[in-house]
Structure 1
């Protein structure tokens, strides 16, 4: 089992404050002989449609020496998990959770804007101190 990300508990509490029910901590993906672990699985009841909306959340701290290297690793992991979830649990949508400061510092720059424009990532942006979700970027 992998170690929890630095902001794991903060993101979990932020999701719960936002009305999400944590279903998996971590969410295990078994594919062939391999097991992979997405940080969180959650669901929310959509009252109007009486349906559940399921998500998976991979949390990234971006605390390495190079934000670009952290982005490359996060993008690779996001792509891998997205493709596997599409096969194993196609109703679940994957999000990458990043702090507001990371969003402002990377995803508001040209490199991040390109990724978002191309639809390479779905982001959950959170405020670490307030323990709340700031925005969802599909």
Structure 2
């Protein structure tokens, strides 16, 4: 198993506070001879008459000592690969990239970052690691 991101537990706690049940920690997906571990799998009952909504969450911490662009390249590559594998293995599960609110409010506001997020249709969960809450969902 690969190392967990620095804010793994904070994002997990934030999802639980937001009404999600953590179903996988990590979520394992196998496709095309490759085994993948996505940080979290979760589901939430939308309503009494509806099916469960299922998500997968890849957590990124973007710590100050690391290069934001290098972490972004890694995160984007993982997101694209994981989304493709999920479409084959669990097509009902929607993949999100979780990023800290400080990173979202700075690096993710740059024109380049916004272009890449839009072009690659990256769904985001913005989280506050100190308060362990989700501040925004970006579809």
What is the TM-score normalised by the length of structure 1?
Answer: 0.94
What is the TM-score normalised by the length of structure 2?
Answer: 0.93
CA drift of 1:106 comes to: 1.4
Gaps of 5+ in 1: none
Q: Where does 1:36-75 land on structure 2 (aligned, <5 Å)? A: 36-47=36-47, 49-63=49-63, 65-75=66-76
Q: Where does 1:114-133 land on structure 2 (aligned, <5 Å)? A: 114-133=115-134
Partner SS, residue 81 of structure 1: helix
CA drift of 1:96 comes to: 0.3
Equivalent residue, structure 2, for 1:88 = 89
Q: Where does 1:22-33 land on structure 2 (aligned, <5 Å)? A: 22-33=22-33
Structure 1 segments of 4+ aligned residues over 3 angstroms from their partners = none
Partner SS, residue 23 of structure 1: strand
Partner SS, residue 130 of structure 1: coil
CA RMSD between the two structures: 1.3
Equivalent residue, structure 1, for 2:105 = 104
